[in-house]
Structure 1
Amino acid sequence: MKITTLVDNTRLENRQDLAVERGLSLYIETESSKILFDMGSGNTFCQNAQRLDVDIEDVDIAVISHRHHDHCNGAIDFIAHNSKAKVFLRNSEDKNYYFRAYGFKYDVGVNKDLLKNSNERLVLVDRTTEIAPNVFVITDISSKHEKPKGNQYLYTQSQNRWERDSFDHELLLVIKEADGLVIFTGCAHSGVLNMVDTALTHFPGENIKAVVGGFHLVGLPLFDSIGGTKQNIKDLGLALLQYPIDKLYTGHCTGKKAYGLLKEILGERLEAMPTGRSISV
C-alpha cells in the first residue's frame, strides 16, 4: 500500500512548490483500489495532486472522516474533478459546527452545499461497511478511553441550542491486508486509543502495520498549545506502546509540540506525514 499526503499543515522542505493549509487529505493506493481519504478545505489537494503525479479522476472511492471543513469541504472540488467515485461519510443529524474559546466563535462545519447538491454521489453510512474489498468504514467507535482534551473548544448548534460536539459524525477507515491492518484516523476526535481498540475489536489478533492521521492533541491551534498537560501526551505515547502497532504517521491536528512529546516516547515508531510525503506500508 502506498500513501501520499496531498494536504497537511506542513510540507516537505524540498517541495516548496506544494501548497499547504490547515487540513488533511491522503491518497491511498492498494492492489485493488485508489482511495481518497479526506479532502482538506478546498481545492489545494487537487493542485498538489497534479504536482505529485496523482490523477484525481482515477480515484475509485472517497471517504470523509468527519464533518469539519478542513477535512470535507474539498469534496465539492473532488466531485467536480472526478466523475465516478462515491463519497462515503457518516450519517448524522444536520448540525452546525463551531470552535468556541474566550469569546471567539468560528464556523468549522461542512459546506451545506455539499450535502444539498451532491446526493447522487454521497453515501451515508451508519454501521460498519465494507466499501471495497478489504476496505472498511467503521462508525461504532469505542469510548473506553478519554477523548482528546482539545475537544473542549468544539461545539454543535441545532435549533438554537449549543452542545459540546459528541463526534457522532466521525468514522474510522481500516484497510486489511495479508500482513496486517492500516488504520486512518482523520482527526481522531474520538481518541486514537479508542480507534485502535475499535479496529482490534473488529479484527481480533491482527497486527497493525500503521496508524495514519491526526490525533487532535492540539489545544488552541493558533498558538500550537497542547490539549491537556505534557504528562497527558506522554501517557498516551506509553499507552500506544502497548499495542501491536509497527508505525504511526501523524501531523495536522496533532500539533508540533505534542508531536515532540510523543516522539520522546515512541521514538522511531512515530514519523511525520507532511504534504508531499509518500510512504509504503
Structure 2
Amino acid sequence: MVIKVLMDNESVSEEFRSEHGLSLYIETGSRRILFDTGESGTFDLNAEKLGVNIADVDFLVLSHGHYDHGGGINRFFELNSKAKAFVNRRSFEEHWAVKPDGTRKYIGLDKRLLDTGRIVLVEDYHVVDDGIELFSGIKGDTLTPSGNQDLYMIHSGEMVHDDFAHEQNMLVTEDGKGILFAGCAHRGIVNIIEEIAVEGNILLEAVIGGFHLYNKSRGTSESDEIVDEIGRYLKESGPMYYTCHCTGLEAYGRLKETMDGKLDYLAAGKTIEI
C-alpha cells in the first residue's frame, strides 16, 4: 500500500503547498482512494507534483464534517467525474467553533454538495469495498481532546457541544495487514484503537491520522501529562503510527520521545509504503 500526503499543516519542502487541513492519497492493489480533501482544494497542486492523477481516484472518504477536511470536495468533483464521496449522514449538520472571546465561526461543510448526486450518506458502519470499512459512533471517553470543548453543533435548533458522531475512521485490510486511517480522532485516538482494534480483534500494522492534540482556536497544546499518557498507550498497542495535521508539532515532538521510534510525521509531499 502506498500513501501520499497531498495536504497537511506542514510540508516536506517549499515545493509543496501546506494549509490547515488534511488530504491523503491511498493506493492499494486494486483501489485508489482519497481520504479527505483539505481546506481549500489546493491538494491537487501537490498531487500533480507527486504524480497522482485525481481523475483516476475510485472514491473519496470524508473523515468528518469540518471544512479543513472537506473544503476541497468541490475541487475534487471538478477533477474527477466518476467517483462518489462516502460521508457519514450527520456530517452535513451545522458545525461551529467558538473562540475564547466568544466569537463563533462556521466550520461545517457546504450543504449544496448534497445536490451534486455524488454524496453517499452512510451510517455508523459501512463496507465501501472488499477490505475497506468505515466506522463511526466511537464510544469511550478516555483521553479525549480538550480542544473539543470549543467545538459545537446545532441539535434540535440549539447549539450544543459536538458529540462527533459524524466522525468516521477507515480500515483498509490488504494482504493480512490492517491499516487504520483517522482524520482528527476527535473521539480520542485511544478510544478509536480500543473499539476498532482491541474489541474488534483486528491486528493493525499501522495507524495514520491526526490526534487533535493542538487547539487551533486557543493556540495551545495538550498538557505534557496527557500527551505522555497517550504516548505510553500507543507505544504498547502494537502498530506503527504516522501522525499529521491537528496533532501539532509540540505534541508530536513529545510523543516521538515517548514512543521510541514508533511514530513518524506525514507532512505534505511525503510518500510512505506499508
Give the TM-score, by structure 2 length. Answer: 0.94
Equivalent residue for 1:277, pick from 261, 270, 273: 270
Q: Cα distance, 1:193 vs. partner?
A: 1.1
Name the CA shift for 1:138/1:159 in 2 (closer, same or farther; >3 Å).
closer
- Give distance in 2, aligned partners of 1:221 and 1:263: 24
The alpha carbon displacement at 1:178 in A equals 2.5
2:97 is the alignment partner of 1:90: no
- Partner residue in 1 for 2:65: 67
Matched, 1:226 2:225: no
Q: Does 1:263 align with 2:256?
A: yes
> What is the alpha-carbon distance in structure 2 between the residues aligned to residue 261 and residue 231 of structure 1?
10
Q: Which runs of 5+ in 2 are unaligned?
A: none
Asked whether 1:174 is paired with 2:168, we answer no
Q: Which of residues 198, 204, 207 is equivalent to 1:208?
A: 204
**Cα displacement string for residues 128-161 of structure 1 (whole angstroms, at most 9, x for unaligned residues):** 2221110111123232524211111111134652
Which residue of 2 is the match for residue 186 of structure 1? 183
1:154 correspondence with 2:169: no
Instruction: Output the amino acid matched with 2:7.
Output: V
Structure 1's 98 and 36: CA in aligned 2 closer, same or farther, altered over 3 A? same
RMSD of the TM alignment (CA)? 1.6
Q: Please tell me whether the aligned partners of residues 64 and 91 of structure 2 are also in contact (alpha carbons under 8 angstroms).
A: no
For residues 192-226 of structure 1, give each alpha carbon's deviation from its aligned partner in whole angstroms, at most 9, with x where no partner exists: 1111122225741x431111010001124563x11
Checking the alignment, whether the CA contact within 8 Å between 2:137 and 2:166 is kept in structure 1 is no
Partner of 2:42: 44
Deviation at 1:75, TM superposition (A): 0.8
Aligned counterparts of 1:34 and 1:222: Cα–Cα separation in 2: 36
> Residues 93 and 86 (structure 1 numbering): CA distance in 2 closer, same or farther, change over 3 Å?
closer
* Contact 2:141/2:187 (<8 A) preserved: no
Q: Is 2:181–2:207's contact at 8 Å kept on the other side of the alignment?
A: yes
**C-alpha contact (below 8 Å) 2:56/2:80 kept by paired residues:** yes
Which residue identity lines up with residue 233 of structure 1 in the other structure? Answer: V
The amino acid of 2:107's aligned partner reads: V
Q: Which residue is equivalent to 1:105?
A: 104
Identity of aligned residues (%): 35
TM-superposed deviation, 1:257: 0.9
Residues 46-99 of structure 1: CA deviation (Å, up to 9, x unaligned): 121111110000001110000000001211111111111110010127532111
The Cα of 1:249 is off from its aligned counterpart by 0.6
Runs of 4+ in structure 1 off by over 4 angstroms are none
Aligned length: 273
What letter matches 2:4 in structure 1? T
For residue 239 of structure 1, what is the aligned residue in structure 2?
A: 233
Consecutive unaligned residues in structure 1, runs of 5 or more: none
Q: Match for 1:164 among 139, 161, 178?
A: 161
Alignment-mate amino acid for residue 170 of structure 2:
L
Q: 3-state SS of the aligned residue for 2:16?
A: coil
SS at match of 2:187: coil
Q: Secondary structure at the match of 1:259?
A: helix
Q: Is the 8 A contact 1:182 1:210 kept in 2?
A: yes
The answer to whether the Cα contact below 8 Å between 2:99 and 2:218 also exists between their aligned partners in 1 is: no
Distance in 1 of aligned mates of 2:78 and 2:121: 19
What amino acid maps onto 1:11 in structure 2?
S
Distance 2:33 2:221 in 1: 31
